[in-house]
Amino acid sequence: MLWTRTCSFLGLAAGVCASHSQTVLGSSFSDNNTAKFPEAPANDGLFTPLESLAYVREDTFTTLGHPLFPNYSVRIKKSDFCDETVGAYTGYIDIEAHHIFFYFFESRSDPDKDDVIFWTNGGPGCSSSLGLLMELGPCRVVEPGEPKHHPESWNSNANVFFIDQPIGVGFSYADYGEYVGTTEDAAKDVAAFVSIFFENFSQFKGRAFHMAGESYGGRYLPVFAAAVYDNNAVLVKGGATPVNLTSVMIGNGITDPFTLILSYYDMVCTAASVPPVFDIETCVYMKKTLPRCQKWLKAACEDQFDTINCAAAASFCQSVFSESFFELTDLNPYDISKPCDGPISETLCYPQTKYIANYLSDPKTRALLGVDPAVPANFTSCSASVSSEFSITQDSLHPSKDYVGALLERGIRVLIYVGTYDWICNWVGNNRWTLELDWTYKAEYNDAELRDWTVDGKKAGITRSTNGLTFATIDAAGHMVPFDKPKESLELVSRWLAGKEL
């Protein structure tokens, strides 16, 4: 989720619980109940993959490593969490003093053959537990209490990861106060984790791999996917199997922030989504300011990045096109069709976020997940400190659209999907940057038919597609498409994984 202002969630006081295991080369097992599990490999100095998730235990972590990434390891445990019908796992990516938490759910359909999806939420600084427990995961916490089964989860026909990244987000932590402040640094850790996972669990080797997420994920994912793609050369050189990166799926993303800033005019002063919500005088002022911001942002931020001048341009243009939204309306910036439900600084306009924070602050939940005792007792869905670190480096002022073009040139498919009611990462801006994207098939993409796509015979949105790039809207959905339109979002993803047109 993209932050509009400094936002955080405060859970209830809770304790934490975790278990530990003894590391042995590529795999590890605790000394408890070893008769039920294979013997640990002999310490012969060679890397030994675990090969199958069937060897992962519930009572303790199994630790995985890789010789190509000596400073990285993964702790993973089986967890009776969220979806009892499938194998569910939780754990940490350990990068020396950095520890990144993840959830993994096997497919409800055919886990031995189905694709693998990696999911990250945005922020920067927001936990992917929001995506898991509110949007596309196998269970939801949309009211106080325990999770409820979600029949339209994306693990209906895919194996799905949810990751709390970078360090400091959700259940992730650092030993000595380290932090990550750029998408490029975060990408290194993600690429290494992906490599370790596929190399250790040979049951997934060669499986189609899709990297997905939303909001600030539009900045993250193109860079993360590029790191995974480029890292394949290292794997091949080291005698390992390359990751079968197949596609990137970005929902309501901030891939080109400058186009998005200027598209706020369309969202509040035209009927691009709902009838105009701003008064005429304000809209006229915004329209007159558009050419100035277009010219200034291009010169200071894109043609040649100037730290001070780009920050000044972004600050001025945001004051005109963004801040007025909060001053003149009480609407939900993530769903412009309705008012904000609760203080945005506490709930991001969705009370469900507080229910999730309370649930993940419960000591019983933490014991079930294996949360490390180093993690603070009160779960925070979005970290203000992580957001601040990314703000200091001006990470959001660096578009990721050129990474999208480079991925397309290498045969990696890209899906840009957007809910029509979202204001903050709206469909107008996302449509524009895909049309302006500089790549081999730009002309063919621009000439492609913009047509309706349907679910059960009813219009679900509009779409344009050619040569691997697809843009699609989801009618009457906000920023979190799977939350608002679970049936349509699952159909969208299912068709995408199958390589079908929408």
Active site residues: 215, 422, 479
Spatial distance between the Cα atoms of 222 and 416, rounded to a whole number of angstroms: 11
Contact 426, 273 (CB under 8 A): yes
The values of phi and psi at residue 254, to 5°, are -110, 60
Task: Report the alpha-carbon distance of residue 326 to residue 336 in Å, rounded.
Answer: 12
Q: 451-455 and 72-78: which strand pairing?
A: unpaired
CA distances from residue 461 to 333, 433, 474 in whole angstroms, order as listed = 20, 18, 5
**Residue 337: its H or E element:** strand 335-339
Tokens 């050369």, residue? 233
Q: What is the rounded CA–CA span in Å between residue 89 and residue 369? A: 8
Structure tokens at 100: 């990144």
Q: What is the Cα–Cα distance from 11 to 17, expressed in whole angstroms? A: 17
Q: HEC string of 102-164?
A: EEEECCCCCCCCCCEEEEECCCCCECCHHHHHHHHCCEECCCCCCCEECCCCHHHCCEEEEEC
Q: Amino acid identity, residue 197? A: F
> Do 29 and 57 form a contact (C-beta atoms < 8 A)?
yes
Bridge-based pairing of strands 413-419 and 72-78 is unpaired
Which helix (H) or strand (E) covers residue 93, if one does? strand 88-95
Question: Is residue 313 within 8 Å of residue 305, measured between CB atoms?
Answer: no
177, 267, 183: which is closest to 221 by C-alpha? 183
Closest C-alpha among 158, 78, 153 to residue 113: 158
**DSSP-derived secondary structure letter, 339:** E
Pairing relationship of beta strands 116-120 and 209-215 according to DSSP bridges: parallel
Tokens representing residue 158 in the block: 């895919």
